[in-house]
Structure 1
Amino acid sequence: MPQRARDFGLICGIMQPGPLNAITDVPGVKLGHHTMRDGDLLTGFTALLPHGGNLFRRKVRAAVDIINGFGKSAGLMQLAELGQIETPLLLGNTLAVGTGFDALVTRALAANPDIGRETGTVNPIVLECNDGYLSDIRARALTMEHAFAALDAAASGPVAEGAVGAGTGMSAFGFKGGIGTASRRFALDGTGYTLGVLALANFGNAGDLILPDGRRPAPSQMKPQGERGSVILVVATDVPLESRQLHRIARRGGAGLARLGAFWGNGSGDIAVAFSTADPIDHDQPADLVPLRALNENRIDTLFRAAVEATQEAVLNAMIVAPATTGRDGHRRPSLGDWLRAHLS
């Protein structure tokens, strides 16, 4: 198994992780990748499914927080307005958003013949970061078949991290970035619940990274660069929550990024989406009034802390698992995992 943050004694916060320390600790959540490595192409798609059923017919409550809006994602306006998600979430590179959109629409139309006829259209959620430093983003190599492959690979259980899927060509703090995940467990009214975070880490200036033990690793011979990256955070939980509460929790992802030394620069697209798998919304609900369970607001600090800690750890896991990588035009990113192994105390 690849080494992760905890294998180097890097503990983020005080709460306990779930058994996998991954977003798939949240029951029902599935994750899949399609990775492309071909010459100057280091890219891919990552698919996240809140549950394994028909998301258009059983939507999940959700919210989005735009930490810094230098991004090209799709579907966030309706997500913010209605507070729900009705397709899987696809993560990819900036110029593949349209491809991901088409793939999600194609799957939704195939599964729901009434879309655009007896009922409304569908709102795909596609999230992106720019992998153009390591990958030839202008080639626009990702296709709908690649998106379908990521969707079809989605599964519960252990999560592949680092330079996989959408994280294949990403960079963070001058190191190799990528996909990372973490989770936290806690009890409410004597019942165990989980909050998990998936991070697509492609942000941060070289030299700004702060580890939980206070060290500030920096790549050697790295020229100073302006902040032009992005980070996508997806927060999942099985706690019953209103979309307003989910927005508050999504916003705490920014605190997790700040613990790492990020300041959300002008050219960074920093987006956090949060959803709850509890009490899905029935698209065909016949009743005028429906019951809604929600967390007692006086207990929400537990989820705030969980979101902050899991965000910090998810980004570190992405950077530690990702290997040193040479990509387009000889551009190179070293591995934070290699740096940690070279600086063992």
Structure 2
Amino acid sequence: MHNHLATPSGKPRARSFSIGFDGTPGPFNAITDVPGVTVGYATLISGDGALVVGKGPVRTGVTAILPRPRADLATPVFAGIFSQNGNGELTGSHIVEEIGAFAYPITITNTHSCGVSRDATLRWMQRVLPAAVDSGWGLPVAAETYDGFLNDINGHHLTSEHVARALDGAAGGPIEEGSVGGGTGMISFGFKAGSGTASRIVAWQGCTYKVGAFVQSNFGKRGNFTLRGLRAGPELVEPSIREGTPRAEKGSIIAVVATDAPFLPHQMKRLARRVPLGVAMTGGFGYHSSGDIFLAFSTANRGAALAPTGHIASVDFIPDTDIDPFLDAVIEGVEEAILNALVANDDMTGRDGNFVPALPKEWLKETFS
């Protein structure tokens, strides 16, 4: 399938280099294979040269993930979170822990714009679905990773208008990867990284379900980089990062897992707990400064969230004893999503001439094709 080999703009995905993966991907090999889930971006790239705080260079953006169709965004989804290493932020995490659900869109951006994206989501909901916030409160999920090596992060270039653009533009089908949206200024294993996605199909008792993963990948040391079991980092010493300004280690990864399989909140937390295994398959070990925070949600059981008070509510769920294939799907999807974020990328130069190389395509061809 062409969608498995290239992004909509024609950037290569990992499978275009004949890299073999476990499991069966969905039609788009993306989180958008889960029915009703859409993704939108706003990407901000401008300026070159020396950093002038407030002016640039700018290498940032925001990603929006809508868990339900726009008209249904006030309907909660069952969810679970897991923090492998909490050196980061995901707003709304307390209510997810408390009630096992959340509503409204998810946004992912840079560390110093996380509050902007959260608040802008509420402004957007007030505009497009005012009844959802007129008589209640909203606690949107907003997450972040640090892009200050390439971006004027203290210039606060992301605005509510940019967040609204990402939310308004959210769509299904194949989605872009690499240096787009919140992933614009991100780095993994010393290579240019950013936004990546993948999906898996899971068959259970005559039904077919989708498990999709989306990552904002900004973690890892070069020497640990592993590609489908090949310890590639020690071999890939070059090309290396070039620093006009010394680089502090501030890596993180945010992952969002979506499924249409009916699971309860505790089961969604179990899926979220498997994300680190997919990260580890690529050589990510959750070092001190890394904010490794993971969210999983299910679009099933819509009626349970709307059940009237005063009545017994009922839900469908797959038994815990049958959850293993879905755990496989999370691990496989996260691993491939990270590699897609790396492969669908080019070299980038940002603030102060700081340079981050792309994962070499010639090396990929020689090694796998």
| Residue type of the alignment partner of 2:164 | F
| Residue type of the alignment partner of 1:28 | G
**Judging changes above 3 Å, is the alpha-carbon distance between structure 1 residues 36 and 219 closer, same or farther for their aligned structure 2 residues?**
farther
Q: 2:344 aligns with which of 318, 321, 333?
A: 321
Q: CA deviation at 1:226?
A: 7.0
Q: 1:32 aligns with which of 37, 40, 52?
A: 40
Report if aligned partners of 2:241, 2:356 keep a CA contact under 8 Å in 1: no
| Residue type of the alignment partner of 1:59 | P
Is 1:265 aligned to 2:282, yes or no?
no
Using the TM superposition, name which of 183-192 and 335-344 deviates more. 335-344
| Residue type of the alignment partner of 1:271 | I
Q: CA deviation at 1:288?
A: 2.6
Q: CA deviation at 1:153?
A: 0.7
Other-structure match for 2:222: 206
Q: 2:125 aligns with which of 108, 118, 139?
A: 108
**1:256 aligns to what SS in structure 2?**
helix
Length, aligned pairs only: 342
Q: CA deviation at 1:107?
A: 2.4
Q: 1:69 aligns with which of 86, 93, 105?
A: 86
Using the TM superposition, name which of 53-62 and 86-95 deviates more. 53-62
Q: CA deviation at 1:341?
A: 4.5
> What is the rounded CA distance, in whole Å, between the counterparts of 1:266 and 1:159 in structure 2?
32
Q: 1:124 aligns with which of 140, 149, 161?
A: 140
> What is the rounded CA distance, in whole Å, between the counterparts of 2:259 and 2:334 in structure 1?
13
**Judging changes above 3 Å, is the alpha-carbon distance between structure 1 residues 247 and 103 closer, same or farther for their aligned structure 2 residues?**
same
Q: CA deviation at 1:112?
A: 3.3
Report if aligned partners of 2:229, 2:281 keep a CA contact under 8 Å in 1: no
Q: CA deviation at 1:74?
A: 1.4
> What is the rounded CA distance, in whole Å, between the counterparts of 1:219 and 1:182 in structure 2?
28
Report if aligned partners of 2:182, 2:216 keep a CA contact under 8 Å in 1: yes
TM-score by length of 2: 0.88
> What is the rounded CA distance, in whole Å, between the counterparts of 1:141 and 1:219 in structure 2?
34
Other-structure match for 2:18: 9
Other-structure match for 2:151: 135
Other-structure match for 1:253: 275
- Map 1:70-89 → 2, pairs under 5 A: 70-89=87-106
Q: CA deviation at 1:113?
A: 4.0
Using the TM superposition, name which of 201-210 and 279-288 deviates more. 279-288
Other-structure match for 2:54: none
Provide, for residues 251-308 of structure 1, a one-character-per-residue CA deviation record: whole Å limited to 9, x for no partner. Answer: 1000001111111000000011000011124457345321111111111000110000
- Map 1:1-345 → 2, pairs under 5 A: 1-13=10-22, 15-39=23-47, 40-55=57-72, 57-110=74-127, 111-113=129-131, 115=133, 117=135, 120-217=136-233, 218-220=236-238, 221-222=240-241, 227-280=249-302, 281-283=304-306, 285-338=308-361, 340-341=363-364, 343-344=366-367
**2:171 aligns to what SS in structure 1?**
coil
Report if aligned partners of 2:104, 2:140 keep a CA contact under 8 Å in 1: yes
Q: CA deviation at 1:343?
A: 3.7
Structure 2 unpaired stretches of 5+: 1-9, 48-56
> What is the rounded CA distance, in whole Å, between the counterparts of 2:20 and 2:295 in structure 1?
24
**Judging changes above 3 Å, is the alpha-carbon distance between structure 1 residues 330 and 91 closer, same or farther for their aligned structure 2 residues?**
same
> What is the rounded CA distance, in whole Å, between the counterparts of 1:219 and 1:339 in structure 2?
15
Q: CA deviation at 1:151?
A: 0.2
**1:272 aligns to what SS in structure 2?**
strand
> What is the rounded CA distance, in whole Å, between the counterparts of 1:11 and 1:337 in structure 2?
18
> What is the rounded CA distance, in whole Å, between the counterparts of 2:241 and 2:219 in structure 1?
15
**Judging changes above 3 Å, is the alpha-carbon distance between structure 1 residues 126 and 231 closer, same or farther for their aligned structure 2 residues?**
same
Using the TM superposition, name which of 178-187 and 55-64 deviates more. 55-64
> What is the rounded CA distance, in whole Å, between the counterparts of 1:340 and 1:122 in structure 2?
47
Report if aligned partners of 1:227, 1:265 keep a CA contact under 8 Å in 2: no
> What is the rounded CA distance, in whole Å, between the counterparts of 2:319 and 2:274 in structure 1?
18
Report if aligned partners of 1:10, 1:213 keep a CA contact under 8 Å in 2: no
**1:336 aligns to what SS in structure 2?**
coil
> What is the rounded CA distance, in whole Å, between the counterparts of 2:72 and 2:96 in structure 1?
14
| Residue type of the alignment partner of 2:124 | R
> What is the rounded CA distance, in whole Å, between the counterparts of 1:55 and 1:108 in structure 2?
11
Q: CA deviation at 1:316?
A: 0.2
> What is the rounded CA distance, in whole Å, between the counterparts of 1:94 and 1:226 in structure 2?
14
Report if aligned partners of 1:64, 1:272 keep a CA contact under 8 Å in 2: yes
Provide, for residues 39-95 of structure 1, a one-character-per-residue CA deviation record: whole Å limited to 9, x for no partner. Answer: 110100100011113455311111110110001221111112111121100010011
> What is the rounded CA distance, in whole Å, between the counterparts of 2:59 and 2:218 in structure 1?
14
Provide, for residues 20-50 of structure 1, a one-character-per-residue CA deviation record: whole Å limited to 9, x for no partner. Answer: 1111111111001010011110100100011
Report if aligned partners of 1:171, 1:201 keep a CA contact under 8 Å in 2: yes
TM-score by length of 1: 0.94
Other-structure match for 2:53: none
> What is the rounded CA distance, in whole Å, between the counterparts of 1:339 and 1:71 in structure 2?
35
> What is the rounded CA distance, in whole Å, between the counterparts of 1:269 and 1:62 in structure 2?
19
